[in-house]
Amino acid sequence: MRSDITLAIIKPNAVRTGKIGPILAMINEAGFEIIALKMVKLTKQQAESFYEVHREKVFFESLVEFMSSGPVVAMILRHRNAVDEFRKLIGNTDPAKAEPGTIRKLYGISVQMNAIHGSDSIENAIKEASFFFSEIERFY
Ligand code: IDP
Ligand code: MG
């Protein structure tokens, strides 16, 4: 199983406020290679499917509403130890607890609207990459 990719999503709050450019710049400067990229608006069903593991959580319905509320930018990123390295770059789930200089600290506005998603394991990175991208949409 390859361990050099992770799946990132710039969430609707960050797209809405014009943060695609600044976030992509941070990703580039941190040494990640973008090997797939697209802007899409998820349906409620697609957002439910993506966040299936959180179905029983109290915030599930609200999260699905939010993630389908506007366009998002999905990408596959390549880097050594991509999952862990990217989680370091984005910071804690709660922007208030995230380290200074992280994407969530800079652009997150609440636990839910925390600006960006990053896969939490190699297995999920591979699954999530296939959720968004077909073979002819990814380059590596
Ligand atoms: P992660 O994105 O840091 O991996 P998860 O626990 O996997 O965090 O949660 C997925 C997403 O669900 C978070 O990024 C955030 O948008 C949302 N979320 C998590 N916990 C809460 C909460 O307590 N209230 C509202 N939204 C939450
Ligand atoms: Mg997670």
Q: Which of 3.40.390.10, 3.20.20.70, 3.30.910.20, 3.30.70.141 is the CATH number of 5-134?
A: 3.30.70.141
Domain ranges of the chain: 5-134
Protein residue whose Cα sits closest to atom 26 of ligand 1 = 112
Length of the chain (residues):
140
The catalytic site residues sit at 117
Cα–Cα distances (Å) from 1 to 92, 112, 126, 127, in that order, read 26, 30, 8, 11
Which residue carries 């994407």 as its tokens?
103
Query: Of all helices (H) and strands (E), which one includes residue 78?
Result: strand 72-78
| Ligand 1 mutation target, pool 60, 93, 114, 116, most atoms within 8 A of CB | 93
Encode the chain (140 residues) as per-residue pLDDT tens digits: 889 999 999 999 999 999 999 999 999 999 999 999 999 999 999 999 999 999 999 999 999 999 999 999 999 999 999 999 999 999 999 999 999 999 999 999 999 999 999 999 999 999 999 999 999 999 98
Q: What is the pTM of this model?
A: 0.98
Q: What angle do CA 5, 125, 41 make, to 5 degrees?
A: 105
